[in-house]
A and B are shown apart, each in its own frame.
Chain A
């Protein structure tokens, strides 16, 4: 399955004094099994864009293709397309409604028309994936859970549908570090499987740099940059100018450069940075015959 978006335009509150142009001719293509990181400043249109991918918002103009189906074409069935797309909303805990965690996770599979046995299997599996103990949580009311546990229950509900595309809108926002790690590890496993398109919206550049095959930068409703993490995060000044950060090591190198240390490159992880710094120290040491300057 692949996703194609062509010249998407979306306007909130059209014809009222509060009009906002949220998407301005956005085009992109996402290949099968790709892990895409979507970043952009607050209000740049990320959430608006992803809601078009499963037909929750109807574009003013432009086209959306999921697989070979075009959303909003005559005779298209958004309901059917939605069943293939798992969508985790920003702060999604409000969507819990059943009397037990089990039933809530089963809501999606039930909408797919699966049998009881199949549903049961999927609920158990997805609870295991997100790290919620079945015996301890299955029969509890979702409203009695902690914030992080609620988030995991919601994620389990999305995964239980075995979607072909998984869209996650800031899945780790507001979670404690431990739960954040759980969610990210789960994403790593999904990524390793390579069977699902993952679109991850996050303000954590480190996560994006580590996991994404491709990074798309939105700015004021337009695609400003698109490419591998290395390509995108090399545009340090531009990213800063639109209010975005860099992964911590990239930021460190930038600071060193701004401080007058003449290091090259925009490393994305610690190993890469170490290598660059090591090379720098060796070269400058060879030039000046001293290795102490940096320290």
Chain B
């Protein structure tokens, strides 16, 4: 039932991709996203697809897992695609009633669709290969310079860690409560909207109570272990850059360089390709 929902799911593994320092991985993901917007044509995307494909293969995350993430945004994807296809003016290709598909529109639709897919796949690769705890560690560490401007980096990261940690717990709890009330004859599937809303009471009350209980228990456990915020706190798993990270950086630099070169010499490359085909 509800348990089958996975959020920010992590796919366990011990590949180089998993081992890259989370700070670096976050930065690389951001660079990747920026580069997607720098690119103006399909040749650039070919490079991005190849890079992403390589990293995915190296991470050993089954492609089915990654594509599952796309299911959630399928509607947005379709919407973007159709909007681009029909709303761009240019050379007409086909006419469907009052709608016209133009050459430019089709190009734009495929291009934007591809950009969205690459964006989602790229960022889900980050969450799939990084433990949530490490991810928040990385975010905390990246936010640290902002402390000078009053950003409570540690507290933010702690809140994120706790929230992430308790999503599955609360889902489990909801599942349990729903089952228990269903066993008592509650019916969540039929009836008017008003009736169904009323039916949620037997779920929500116990859920809130257990959420508060969990929060209280956690606060007590943290206090019992003398937690007192970020000041002077060290980490059990200190983040340290290693050889994998150097490789990752080199790989990223190569990727960025390729895409910039492609953008600068796009005209020349196209001309070369065309002449190649003509010969």
Which of B17-25, B31-39, B83-91, B177-185 forms part of the interface with chain A?
Answer: B177-185
Which of A59-67, A89-97, A197-205, A271-279 forms part of the interface with chain B?
Answer: A89-97
CA distance A96 to B213 in the complex (A): 14
The answer, yes or no, to whether A157 is at the interface (CB within 8 Å) is: yes
CB distance from B40 to the nearest CB of A (A): 39
Most-contacted residue by chain B among A85, A97, A112 (CB, 10 A):
A97
- Do B180 and A94 touch (CB < 8 A)? yes
The answer, yes or no, to whether A233 is at the interface (CB within 8 Å) is: no
CB distance from B87 to the nearest CB of A (A): 38
- Do B184 and A111 touch (CB < 8 A)? yes
Given contacts A89-B176, A94-B176, contact A54 B206 (CB under 8 A): no
The answer, yes or no, to whether A161 is at the interface (CB within 8 Å) is: yes
- Do B183 and A54 touch (CB < 8 A)? yes
Which residues of chain B have C-beta atoms less than 8 A from A96's C-beta?
A: 206
Interface residues of A in 91-113 (CB under 8 A from B): 92, 94-97, 107-108, 111-112
CB distance from B125 to the nearest CB of A (A): 16
Question: Whose C-beta in chain B lies nearest to the C-beta of A157?
Answer: B184
Interface residues of B in 175-209 (CB under 8 A from A): 176-177, 179-187, 189-190, 201-202, 205-206, 209
The answer, yes or no, to whether B45 is at the interface (CB within 8 Å) is: no
The answer, yes or no, to whether A82 is at the interface (CB within 8 Å) is: yes
CA distance A111 to B186 in the complex (A): 6
Interface residues of A in 7-51 (CB under 8 A from B): 12-13, 15-17, 51
The answer, yes or no, to whether A143 is at the interface (CB within 8 Å) is: yes
CB distance from B19 to the nearest CB of A (A): 17
Interface size grouping (class) on chain B: 20 to 34
Which residues of chain B have C-beta atoms less than 8 A from A97's C-beta?
A: 201-202, 205-206
Interface residues of A in 72-129 (CB under 8 A from B): 79, 82-83, 85-87, 89, 92, 94-97, 107-108, 111-112
The answer, yes or no, to whether B6 is at the interface (CB within 8 Å) is: yes
CA distance A97 to B12 in the complex (A): 38
The answer, yes or no, to whether A56 is at the interface (CB within 8 Å) is: yes
> What sequence of 0s and 1s flags, for each residue 118-149 of chain A, a beta carbon within 8 Å of any chain B beta carbon?
00000000000000000000000001000000
The answer, yes or no, to whether B169 is at the interface (CB within 8 Å) is: no
Interface residues of B in 3-19 (CB under 8 A from A): 3-4, 6, 9, 11-12
Which residues of chain A have C-beta atoms less than 8 A from B216's C-beta?
A: none
CA distance A157 to B179 in the complex (A): 15
Which residues of chain A have C-beta atoms less than 8 A from B209's C-beta?
A: 94, 143
Which residues of chain B have C-beta atoms less than 8 A from A16's C-beta?
A: 6, 9
- Do A82 and B201 touch (CB < 8 A)? no
CB distance from B21 to the nearest CB of A (A): 23
Which residues of chain A have C-beta atoms less than 8 A from B186's C-beta?
A: 107, 111
CA distance A51 to B12 in the complex (A): 30
- Do B185 and A89 touch (CB < 8 A)? no
User: Told that A89-B176, A89-B179, A158-B183 touch, could you supply 19 new A-B pairs with CB distance under 8 A?
Assistant: A12-B3, A16-B6, A17-B11, A54-B183, A56-B179, A56-B182, A56-B183, A79-B189, A79-B190, A82-B183, A83-B185, A94-B173, A94-B176, A94-B177, A107-B181, A108-B184, A111-B184, A112-B185, A161-B184
Q: Which 8 A-B pairs have the closest CB atoms?
A: A111-B185, A87-B183, A97-B205, A95-B180, A108-B184, A56-B179, A97-B202, A83-B185
Question: What are 19 contact pairs spanning A and B, CB under 8 A?
Answer: A16-B6, A54-B183, A56-B183, A79-B182, A79-B190, A83-B185, A87-B183, A89-B180, A89-B183, A94-B173, A94-B176, A94-B210, A95-B181, A97-B206, A107-B202, A111-B186, A112-B185, A157-B184, A158-B183
